[in-house]
């Protein structure tokens, strides 16, 4: 079981432009896929996949770390944990057994923007899992107890302790977040030590009531069923759940973006930071904020992402051999999108030189020929492979914005993208200098494991 909290979600770019919602059953936007919004606001996506007799569900509530009061870090994560303990109709600690005895694997995670609950299992168990998700949405709130809060706070401390054991990962992302988001911003890192101990039952009730509600949620079901035949069950289980009269305080997104734009807090002329940490490889991270006006054409941006990865691989790995791995990501956070280029360097390389080389190559993207066909083929194949895998498809659909993801439209957008449009996107999105550049230098020569080995051989 894994409950993890991830700031700056690093998933592949997903989603489509915001579209008008519809209360009625929409025509299939993708093969075997039905999307609709129930009368209580719950977004529902049912997508058929008949390769194997299994299902996959994801229920995402648009409440997460960013909604926590400043002194209650981890409250959203705590509520996620609490939602597995009991409900009006599920006894203390029976939740996981009800799922596991049906052959279902469940998991959940909380990030800044949302909290997601996922399940996979044999198709015969789908009604049971949908019933459990109904329990979570409608009947957990009233059953929360102070004792459960104490227990789950302890579990969060255990979880955080194991994550803190990987000091590099945790500290690294805290540093990045602090550079991108000033204090007061919902994505800014907060004091963690002891924060969870301040969260009590009333806090959990407050956040759950405002966040875990139908009009703040999206349910995706992928599997070996008939969407038309499943829909009545969905309406029966979830359509009757009402929304409370209170809601989460609205975020002033305009003000927050202005606040974020004032960061990074390092010198404006050279917004870079250096970390000396016990890692096994050095690296460079480059990040660009995406202006609001450019937050569209997501599937064209996926082609840009692939093209960028291709040219950097070609130059820095195959050509100059200064790097071993390069990853490019587009993080579609609610409060601002971010491009992230991660370059893992070979030993002995100078991060400043690697950064200069990478930026020079990126600057050339907007002017020179791009590997257009390769990037398009690659992006298309990845999208088709994602669609083919039920679990990957579930994540794709739950991350989509608005009430519809259209596979054919996404493929068509990529197919119709011209080289000039791609260069224009590169010019607009990846202007020099980047918003933030981070250099990571190795501080030790060997991982502790080598030390263990030598110690064990001593008489």
Partner 1 sequence: MSTPSAATSICLLALACATTQEPYAVELPLARAEVGVETPPPVAGAEHLRVPPVSEDRLDNGMLVRIVERPGTGLVSMVYATGTARLGSDYMSVFIGDALLAAARRADGTLLYPVRVEGGLPDVGTGPSGTTIALDCAARDLPSTLELLAAVVQRPAFDANALVPVRSRTRLDLLGMSRRYWEWSLALSHGGRSYDIDLDGFATKLPSLDERILRQAHREYYAPEESALIVVGDLPRAQLLAAVKSQFAAWQPRERAREAVRSRPPRAASAPAQRGASTPARAESAKPRSGRRLVIARSEGYPSVALVQDAPASNSPDAVAFELLSRLLVTHGGSSLFSTLRYERAHAYAVGAYALTVPGQGRYLFINTAVAAQTIATDVSEALAALQRLRTQPVNDSDLAGVKAAFRAMLASTLSSGEGLARYLAKVYLLESPALEEIEAQLETIGGADLQRVAAQYLDPERATIGVMGDVSSALGQLKTLGESEPSDEPTPEHEQGRR
Nearer to partner 1, 11 or 155 (CB): 155
CB of 397 to partner 1, least distance (A): 15
Residue 236 found at the interface with partner 1 (CB under 8 A): no
Q: Show the tokens assigned to 230.
A: 């499943």
Tokens in use for 328?
Answer: 């490019």
Six-digit token pair at 384? 């088709």
Least distance from partner 1 to the Cβ atom of residue 256, Å: 20
Distance CA 69, CA 389 (A): 38
Query: How many angstroms separate the CA atoms of 370 and 365, rounded?
Result: 7
Q: Which of 30, 300, 340, 378 binds partner 1 (CB under 8 A)?
A: 378
3-state helix, strand, coil in the chain (%, to 5): 45, 20, 35
Distance CA 391, CA 56 (A): 6
Site string for partner 1, 405-444 (x = CB under 8 A): ----------------------------------------
Q: Any contact of residue 244 with partner 1 (CB under 8 A)? A: yes
Rounded-to-integer distance, Cα 139 and Cα 148, Å: 15
154 belongs to the binding site for partner 1 (CB under 8 A): yes
**Residue among 91, 84, 211 at smallest CA distance from 152:** 84
Half-sphere exposure of 240 (CA within 13 A, CB side): 8
**Size, binding site for partner 1 by CB under 8 A:** 100
Per CB under 8 A, 456 contacts partner 1 = yes
Q: For the chain, what is the radius of gyration of the CA atoms?
A: 23
Region of 74 (left: φ > 0; alpha: ψ -120 to 50; beta: rest) is left
Q: Per CB under 8 A, which of residues 382..401 are in contact with partner 1? A: 384-385, 388-391
Q: Does 54 bind partner 1 (CB under 8 A)?
A: yes
Interface pick for partner 1 out of 60, 185, 357, 380 (rule CB under 8 A): 380
> Per CB under 8 A, which of residues 193..222 are in contact with partner 1?
202-203, 205-206, 209
**Beta carbons of 180 and 260 less than 8 angstroms apart:** yes
Among residues 10 and 151, whose Cβ is nearest to partner 1?
A: 151
- Note whether 28 binds partner 1 by CB under 8 A: no
Closer CB to partner 1, residue 72 or residue 298? Answer: 72
With CB under 8 A as the contact rule, the residue among 27, 184, 194, 449 that binds partner 1 is 449
| Interface residue with partner 1, options 18, 23, 70, 246 (CB under 8 A) | 246
């Amino acid at each position: 079981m894994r409950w993890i909290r991830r700031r700056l979600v690093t998933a592949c770019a997903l989603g489509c432009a915001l579209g008008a919602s519809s209360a009625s059953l929409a025509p299939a936007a993708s093969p075997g896929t039905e999307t609709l919004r129930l009368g209580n606001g719950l977004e529902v996506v049912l997508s058929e996949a008949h390769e194997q007799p299994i299902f996959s569900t994801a229920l995402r509530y648009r409440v997460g770390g960013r909604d926590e009061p400043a002194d209650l870090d981890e409250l959203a994560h705590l509520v996620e944990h609490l939602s597995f303990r009991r409900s009006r109709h599920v006894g203390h600690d029976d939740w996981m057994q009800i799922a596991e005895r049906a052959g279902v694997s469940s998991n959940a995670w909380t990030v800044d923007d949302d909290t997601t609950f996922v399940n996979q299992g044999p198709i015969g168990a789908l009604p049971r899992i949908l019933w459990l998700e109904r329990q979570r949405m409608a009947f957990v709130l009233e059953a929360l107890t102070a004792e459960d809060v104490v227990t789950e706070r302890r579990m969060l401390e255990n979880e955080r302790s194991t994550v803190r054991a990987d000091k590099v990962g945790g500290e690294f992302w805290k540093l990045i977040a602090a550079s991108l988001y000033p204090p007061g911003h919902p994505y800014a890192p907060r004091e963690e030590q002891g924060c969870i101990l301040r969260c009590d039952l009333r806090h959990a009730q407050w956040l759950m009531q405002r966040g875990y509600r139908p009009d703040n949620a999206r349910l995706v079901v992928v599997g070996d069923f008939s969407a038309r035949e499943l829909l009545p069950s969905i309406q029966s289980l979830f359509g009757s759940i009402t929304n409370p009269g209170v809601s989460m305080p609205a975020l002033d997104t305009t003000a927050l973006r202005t606040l974020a734009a004032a960061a990074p807090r390092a010198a404006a002329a050279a917004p870079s930071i250096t970390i000396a940490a016990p890692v096994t490889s050095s690296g460079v991270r480059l990040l660009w904020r995406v202006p609001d006006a450019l937050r569209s054409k997501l599937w064209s941006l996926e082609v840009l992402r692939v093209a960028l990865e291709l040219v950097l691989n070609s130059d820095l790995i195959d050509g100059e051999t200064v790097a071993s791995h390069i990853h490019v990501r587009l993080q579609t956070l609610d409060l601002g999108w971010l491009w992230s280029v991660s370059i893992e360097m070979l030993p002995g390389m100078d991060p400043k030189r690697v950064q200069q080389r990478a930026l020079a190559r990126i600057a050339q993207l907007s002017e020179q020929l791009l590997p257009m066909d390769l990037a398009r083929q690659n992006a298309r194949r990845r999208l088709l492979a994602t669609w083919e895998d039920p679990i990957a498809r579930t994540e794709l659909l739950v991350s989509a914005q608005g009430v519809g993801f259209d596979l054919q439209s996404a493929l068509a957008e990529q197919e119709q993208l011209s080289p000039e449009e791609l260069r224009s996107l590169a010019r607009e999105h990846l202007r020099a200098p980047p918003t933030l550049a981070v250099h990571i230098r190795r501080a030790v020569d060997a991982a502790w494991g080598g030390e263990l080995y030598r110690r064990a051989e001593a008489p």
